[in-house]
Amino acid sequence: MNVTPLTLMVSLMACTPKHDSAPDISPQGLSYPVTKQVEQVDDYHGTKVSDPYRWLEDTDAEDTKAWVAAQNELTFKVLGAIPGRDAIRARMTALWDFERTSAPGRRGAVWFWTFNDGLMNQAQLMVGTGPYENGRVLIDPNTLSEDGTVALSGTFPSDDGKHLVYSLSKAGSDWQELRVRDVATGKDLPDLLQHIKFSEASWTKDGKGFFYSAYDPPKDPNDFEQANYYQKLYYHRLGEPQSADTLIYERADQPEWGFGGAVTQDGNTLVIPNWQGTEPKNRVFLKDLKTPNSPVVELIGEFDAYYSYIGNDGPLFYFSTDQGAPRGRVIAIDIQKPARANWKELIPQQAEPLESVSLVSNRFLVTRLKDAKSLVEVYDISGKKLSEVALPGLGSAGGFAGLREDKEVYYSFTSYMTPGAVYRYDVLNNTSTLVKAPTVSMDEAAYEVKQVFYPSKDGTKIPMFIVHKKGIALDGSNPTYLYGYGGFNIPLTPAYSTVNRVWLELGGVYAVANLRGGGEYGQEWHDAGRLANKQNVFDDFHAAAEYLIAEGYTSTPKLAIGGRSNGGLLVGAAITQRPELYGAALPGVGVLDMLRFHKFTIGWAWVSDYGSSDDPTQFQWLYAYSPLHNIKPGAAYPATLITTGDHDDRVVPGHSFKFAAALQAAQGGPEPILIRVDVNAGHGAGKPTAKSIEEWVDQWAFLVDQLGVTVPPDFGATP
């Protein structure tokens, strides 16, 4: 048991007004809000599964709102009593306050980039006559809401740079609305498009309109949890109402199909990627824009791999793909002779998986991952390797996007020690020049970053980054935060974080495990951690914890784990499978009910990674590790702070609500089980700076309390 101010606190009353029962008294002395149970039993292929907290899925019900209010009251009373919380807030706010600028991009004679002065809730969109030259604010999302919860989620300038489509998201929602701004005047046109989700905008060459994707208006506009099906591709002409938009493509027989639309740089063709779910596999359709009323035709008609359009020379189209190459390759397809037998390989598969490919100055700029760190190569148009880009260090590079005729591109680079800096890359001369670097006072020499490879349960070597102050004693005494994700082909790569810097300054160790299921080593690595192989992800994470303990970095009472979304599932599975291994847990916006996730919003799209309880075999996989369904009454669970947003329309908050209620009821150990529900918030994208700071202050305060970390009295005043 960790003896902390929290666990010694007197009982706190926080009852929901709808229920007359006495509060549940926890072993640690906390009085949890009453959570009623209902008689709900589902039959999954002959297996009866109880779901007593089903009512918490109805986020807008009065009972649920009262429960959330009561849980928040308890949680904030507990967190508010933790010594050092104010100092952590002061230090995090001070460290967050530095200028941040994105890499610039050009359309016509206009350059676009984003800027945040440090503590702005949302970054501004800037325009100028050159990269960072004569800049002025084109869009300031901070003026669109009092609390900073309206975010600029996408920007799409026309080819001549005269107009800009921009998308806005409210309270972290995936739902967006599109507007059009005149770049010269800074004024909006009357155009307003709604019911947009998972869509970009691509202009026709004449600048008269753009393609976008949308769903039908929801039957109940207040029901943000309903499933999303039947996305459609449209063309919008400037000045016309959305009701007059031209339907380009739909499939009434395929409710799960979604469509993008990208106009080729020559303006002659619309490339239409066709996706189904989150598995990185898609089909590709084409529409001839030179011929009025031309049909949409099939170029690639199977969901057998991913195909990402790079560029084209007339009828010769270039794609990056993992078709026949699980770590990716670049191919050329003559759309006049599209049979697979005629496809030509330009850049073959390498040991390092492809992340992205762009075509600039007649060169392919290829970004790869080498043990979860960026590697950038340059190839000529025939596929001959010309050079590698000398990056500033071992970290993550992003960008390298530009127009075909550009001679230079801009990219950003970050590492665990350095925040994102912007570099100019001269494509023909293969030279990089630093353009913008944030001013952050951090003594890099005082810290150590290493990458280790540890064995998982089945012997597979898993990479892990470990960051800490130099000279720490490997005696098991260091408070450690282990982070992971392990899903959807998404890699975790080095990046600077103010949040993590605060943890390091408190004497903490920060570890990132590159688990199977992610994208660190291509599709094979992804496949090894999904569907029937999902348990490998959890085994990899357990093994990471065991490695950190065995090597003396930490010990169970000093070890916390965290993850968000699919990473929240990871943390939930970790503490329900191995509760004795971990000292504290921070599951954020997690997928925690693996039997019902596919019934809400876009959850059905995750079946490609998880499987579905509708299938008898897949039900068995899911039921075996679903965090909600593997909570054991009376078990001693580690201290847990669950976080979610009250209107998360990606992973609906019912996951976290039900998990918190069940874990509170089952807890047989002395540690607290709390849930922090962010009001007027979603899954995380576009979260205002102020909300992000408060959320992480609370999470670090919770870990400081539970892991026995001493916050120096002058910590918040540290220069």
98-120 pLDDT, tens per residue? 999 999 999 999 999 999 999 99
- The answer to whether the CB of 637 falls within 8 A of the CB of 572 is no
563-606 pLDDT, tens per residue? 999 999 999 999 999 999 999 999 999 999 999 999 998 898 99
| Closest to 563 in 3D by CA, of 513, 501, 638, 634 | 513
Query: Cα angle at 282 between 267 and 154, to 5 degrees?
Result: 55
pLDDT of residue 718: 62
Averaged pLDDT for residues 46-68: 96
273-301 pLDDT, tens per residue? 999 988 889 999 999 999 999 999 999 99
What is the rounded CA–CA span in Å between residue 592 and residue 256?
23
- The answer to whether the CB of 178 falls within 8 A of the CB of 196 is yes
Active-site position among 167, 320, 565, 626: 565
Q: Are strands 307-313 and 480-483 parallel, antiparallel or unpaired?
A: unpaired
Phi, psi for residue 345 in degrees, rounded to 5: -85, 125
What is the rounded CA–CA span in Å between residue 29 and residue 6?
9
> What confidence category does residue 8 fall into, taking pLDDT thresholds of 50, 70 and 90?
very low
> Would the pLDDT of 89 be above 80?
yes
* C-alpha to C-alpha distances, 423 to 117, 389, 408, 418, 434, nearest whole angstrom: 19, 12, 10, 14, 4
| Closest to 265 in 3D by CA, of 212, 213, 314 | 314
What is the rounded CA–CA span in Å between residue 32 and residue 35?
9
Residue in the block written with tokens 């209902």: 38
* C-alpha to C-alpha distances, 434 to 197, 286, 410, 421, nearest whole angstrom: 36, 39, 10, 8
Percent of the chain with pLDDT over 90: 87
What is the rounded CA–CA span in Å between residue 166 and residue 83?
44
What is the Rg, in whole angstroms, of the alpha carbon atoms belonging to the chain?
26
Mean pLDDT of the chain: 93
630-672 pLDDT, tens per residue? 999 999 999 999 999 987 788 899 999 999 999 999 999 999 9
Residue in the block written with tokens 């299938």: 615
Cα 479 to chain centroid distance, Å, stands at 26
> Would the pLDDT of 5 be above 90?
no
381 Rama class: left (phi>0) / alpha (psi -120 to 50) / beta = alpha
Q: How many CB atoms lie within 10 A of CB 266?
A: 14
SS3 388: strand
- The answer to whether the CB of 353 falls within 8 A of the CB of 519 is yes
- Write out the E strands in 532-573: 559-564
pLDDT of residue 53: 98
Find the helix or strand (DSSP H, E) in which 503 lies: helix 498-505
What is the rounded CA–CA span in Å between residue 493 and residue 418?
13
Residue 683 annotated as catalytic: yes
Residue 565 annotated as catalytic: yes
522-538 pLDDT, tens per residue? 999 999 999 999 999 99
State the sign of the Cα–Cα–Cα–Cα dihedral 81, 689, 116, 467: positive
29-46 pLDDT, tens per residue? 789 999 999 999 999 999
Q: Are strands 639-645 and 673-678 parallel, antiparallel or unpaired?
A: parallel
Q: How far apart are the first and last CA of the chain?
A: 35
- The answer to whether the CB of 473 falls within 8 A of the CB of 169 is no
pLDDT of residue 250: 96
Q: How many CB atoms lie within 10 A of CB 582?
A: 23
pLDDT of residue 717: 75
133 Rama class: left (phi>0) / alpha (psi -120 to 50) / beta = beta
Active-site position among 236, 542, 598, 683: 683
Phi, psi for residue 532 in degrees, rounded to 5: -65, -15
Q: Are strands 559-564 and 480-483 parallel, antiparallel or unpaired?
A: parallel
- The answer to whether the CB of 398 falls within 8 A of the CB of 412 is yes
Averaged pLDDT for residues 194-221: 92
- The answer to whether the CB of 297 falls within 8 A of the CB of 248 is no
Strand partners, 124: 115
Strand partners, 513: 464
Span of 169-183, 222-236, 465-479 with lowest mean pLDDT: 222-236
Active-site position among 245, 648, 678, 698: 648
